[in-house]
């Protein structure tokens, strides 16, 4: 006789992890290059990349 098992829980979904709040702004730097700063407000992680030439 076969038994039905429910041992396998449903896989975790992305919804259980809150999405980070992102802040993006452009900065005019002293060297004359305009850069875009992207910052994750929750983790403090930050990236900087040049914006078009």
Opening angle at CA 29, ends 22 and 36, nearest 5? 25
Q: Above pLDDT 90, what percent of the chain? A: 49
Rounded to whole angstroms, how far apart are CA atoms 30 and 46?
A: 19
The β-bridge partners of 23 are: 39
Closest Cα to residue 48, out of 31, 26, 30?
26
pLDDT at 38 over 50: yes
H-helix segments, 1-53: none
Percentage of the chain beyond pLDDT 70 is 62
* pLDDT given at position 22: 93
Mean pLDDT of 15-32: 80
Query: What is the band of 2 on the pLDDT scale with cuts at 50, 70, 90?
Result: low
Q: Can you give the pLDDT at residue 52? A: 78
């Amino acid at each position: 006789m076969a038994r039905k098992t429910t041992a396998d829980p449903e896989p975790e979904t992305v919804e259980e992890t809150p999405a980070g709040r992102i802040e993006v702004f452009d900065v005019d730097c002293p060297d004359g290059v305009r850069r875009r700063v992207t910052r994750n407000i929750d983790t403090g992680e930050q990236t900087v990349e040049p914006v078009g030439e």
